[in-house]
Amino acid sequence: MRRHLGLSIKNIKENDFRSFLTIIGILIGITAIVALVSLTQGLAEAVERELDDVGADMITVSAGTHSIGTELDIDNIEHIEGVRGVKEVTPTLLNFAEVEYRGDTESVFIFGIKPEIFDIAPPFNLKEGRLHREHEEGVGIAGKEFSNDVFDETLGLRDNVILRDQRIRIIGIREYFGIPLHDRSLSLPLKDAQEIFDKEDKFSQAFVEVSDNYDPSQVADEIDQVLNEETDEEIMVETMEQILDAVNNVLAMVQALFVGVASIALLVGGVGIMSTMYTSVLEKQRDIGIMKAVGARNSDIMKIFLFESGLLGLLGGLLGVLIGFSIAKVIERIMHNFMGVFRLQASFDPLIIVSVLIFSVLIGTLSGVLPARRAAGLNPVDSLRS
């Protein structure tokens, strides 16, 4: 076995440049699979961390499929509060409007919130300044990018912005969250936002905290039933578990699509290995004849060529894993520095490494079966004459 492996390694070394060209297809396919799977798994884990921060006992209620343009009303909120198992309901208002700062006007998202939201929603965690108090008016809390990047000049604490002729004093700046909807937004007291946008007793979404010893899924079903009996509007009621499942399903589909595309490169790589092995059989025809003349069996010849094709697949897999992880880390860094998507970290699962290496060796070995059989079937006399 060791002698067969040694001859296979020798054949690869003798044609090192051709061997490198042969494994490019495998390398590209494995690189794509490793990078994409690592990033999508990392993204799923980032989403799960964010939802864990909110809490498994949280339910979100919103009118329609989007929070802008569709509304809940005060009756909806009261019906939710009357459902058994509901501990607290915290409504919010979301709108999109132009904000002016020192002569520069930009369109941003505006959140109308109650002070209670700070205890249950991570996007509203504070970095500096303070939170607004109950019944406080004319104040706002800026997202991290809203204060740094939205306007030509940096916005700081105690600076004033103009929203629909209303002066808003900045009293706090939120922590960087990683979603532009939140990081480039301005948060106001709910009552202020309702007055500015003429939305008295109107809300975009409500966060519902479930009491201890109650199942959030059952409470959500009861809320959904109560609201749909009271209104003709389409109302979405979702638990954190349902949101996470939906995100994971989407990511799984995206992952499957990309892996399918990358598999085409693996197929091309397998064809490349097969072509190279056929060429190797032709080049080594005389050597095969000599080995058979001195007693080598057909199985010995097959093992040499199968080891060689398997090693080509393994080399492509190893390089693909290294390059794929490197690309994933580069994309992770870009996401952090320039896009700020969640707290994304590429997921380096050892199972991914083992799986893709086994797969690459399997492709290489299977691609060498036909050339190996041809080599083993050569007539030693004809081979020596060649």
Residues 328-377 have pLDDT tens digits of 888 888 776 665 545 667 877 888 788 888 988 898 888 888 888 887 77
User: Residue 275 and residue 360: Cα distance in Å, rounded?
Assistant: 16
Q: What pLDDT shows up at residue 318?
A: 93
- For residue 62, which phi and psi values (nearest 5 degrees)? -145, 150
Q: How confident is the model at residue 53 (pLDDT cuts 50, 70, 90)?
A: low
HEC profile for the chain? CHHHHHHHHHHHHHCHHHHHHHHHHHHHHHHHHHHHHHHHHHHHHHHHHHHHHHCCCEEEEEECCCCCCCCEEHHHHHHHHCCCCEEEEEEEEEEEEEEEECCEEEEEEEEEECHHHHHCCHHHCEEEECCCCCCCCCEEEECHHHHHCCCCCCCCCCCEEEECCEEEEEEEEECCCCCHHHHCEEEEEHHHHHHHCCCCCEECEEEEEECCCCCHHHHHHHHHHHHHHHCCCCEEEEEHHHHHHHHHHHHHHHHHHHHHHHHHHHHHHHHHHHHHHHHHHHHCHHHHHHHHHCCCCHHHHHHHHHHHHHHHHHHHHHHHHHHHHHHHHHHHHHHHHHHCCCCCCCCCCHHHHHHHHHHHHHHHHHHCHHHHHHHHCCCHHHHHHC
Residues 208-245 have pLDDT tens digits of 988 888 888 899 999 988 888 777 677 888 888 887 78
Segment of 190-194, 261-265, 330-334 carrying the highest mean pLDDT: 190-194
Q: How many CB atoms lie within 10 A of CB 128?
A: 11
Q: What pLDDT shows up at residue 191?
A: 92
Q: What pLDDT shows up at residue 385?
A: 63
Residues 236-255 have pLDDT tens digits of 888 888 877 887 888 888 87
Q: How confident is the model at residue 289 (pLDDT cuts 50, 70, 90)?
A: confident
- Is 70 a residue whose pLDDT tops 80? no
**Which pair of structure tokens corresponds to residue 372?**
């190996």
